[in-house]
Amino acid sequence: MVAPGRGILAADESTGTIKKRFDKIGIDNVEANRQAYRDMLFNTPDFEKYTSGVILFEETLFQKSLSGVPFPELLASKGVIPGIKVDQGAKPLFGGGAEETITEGLDGLRERLQKYKAAGARFAKWRAVIVIGDGTPSDYAIHTNAHALARYAALCQEADIVPIVEPEVLMDADNSIEICESVTDRTLEAVFHELYLQKVLLEGIVLKPNMVVSGAKCPTQAGVQEVAERTLKILKRRVPIAVPGIAFLSGGQSDQLATAHLDAMNKIGGFTWGLTFSYGRALQAAALKAWGGSNVEAGKAAHLHRAKMNGLASLGKWDKSLEAA
């Protein structure tokens, strides 16, 4: 999952989330269009050279390609590992601060994991959301979400499914990069403490964290090198070397910026984990726009380009000049 030069495509948008993306290109959010879109992504020639796994939404896990092959089987035939999003979304956290949430989905998860494994899923993903705001995040929100992440990871390992552990500190606010660094530090400390308490084998997980960045509304935006240095500083402080790989989320960054940050970290080096990507929008936005509901070849070309750029970034071999190539 964190092989050199390869990363993970997050194609696990819920029905509601993909509707927002389809609305922008005037496509109806119906199952046939969702199937056709994912079919275009997964049938992109050579995308497997830069993609080790794909996170699927539950609907997609049980769908077939347009040629009649189940999507997990199609991916596996290309050497791409099928995975599944198993959380059921972030809900308001009673007793937490404004806009704080807790991710739900633990009820019945043991049974669902067996169903997903039978359908071909070999890894899973659970996203915890940490909000930066006035007085937030609270310790309560951080530790409650860390506990749920660890419980999910333990259940996955019980089912012989690799858990992707995703604690996301949101980048939507007006906070400085220093605040993001502090909150990310607190969050990762809590997550690894809970993973230890719940006897999760660290050698059998993939961490999917946010990068340490300035809030999207902050008037002062940190440069690429500062983001890389601050992110690595916190990861080296909090992530044990037993963890085999870290696959970053893009968190709303632009396509090229997410690539540039990943590349800068790999150019710095000095760590033992595989450092790669698990991007959703930053891998798909160009492909979705080019596809537009009908232009399959243009969509595939755009998808392959972004996958290749991020594959190079995961090796520290990307350069902005390659974007025009």
114 C-beta neighbours (distance < 10 Å), count: 12
pLDDT of 314 strictly over 80:
yes
pLDDT of 324 strictly over 90:
no
Among candidate residues 300, 270, 65, the one with its CA nearest the CA of residue 308 = 300
pLDDT, one tens digit per residue, over 31-56 is: 999 999 999 999 999 999 999 999 99
* Active-site residue identified among 166, 168, 181, 194: 166
Among candidate residues 253, 250, 270, the one with its CA nearest the CA of residue 316 = 270
Q: Is residue 272 within a helix (H) or strand (E), and if so which, with residue range?
A: none
pLDDT, one tens digit per residue, over 171-229 is: 999 999 999 999 999 999 999 999 999 999 999 999 999 999 999 999 999 999 999 99
**Does the predicted TM-score (pTM) go above 0.95?**
yes
pLDDT, one tens digit per residue, over 133-142 is: 999 999 999 9
Q: Which pair of structure tokens corresponds to residue 158?
A: 């019980």
Q: 208 catalytic, yes or no?
A: yes
Structural domains of the chain, with CATH? 7-324 (3.20.20.70)
Taking the mean position of all CA atoms in its chain, how far away is CA 206?
10
pLDDT, one tens digit per residue, over 273-298 is: 999 999 999 999 999 999 999 999 99
Mean pLDDT for the chain overall? 97
Question: Which of helix, strand or coil describes residue 225?
Answer: helix
pLDDT confidence of residue 114: 98
pLDDT confidence of residue 325: 59
* Active-site residue identified among 125, 208, 300, 308: 208
Peptide bond into 137 cis (omega under 30): yes
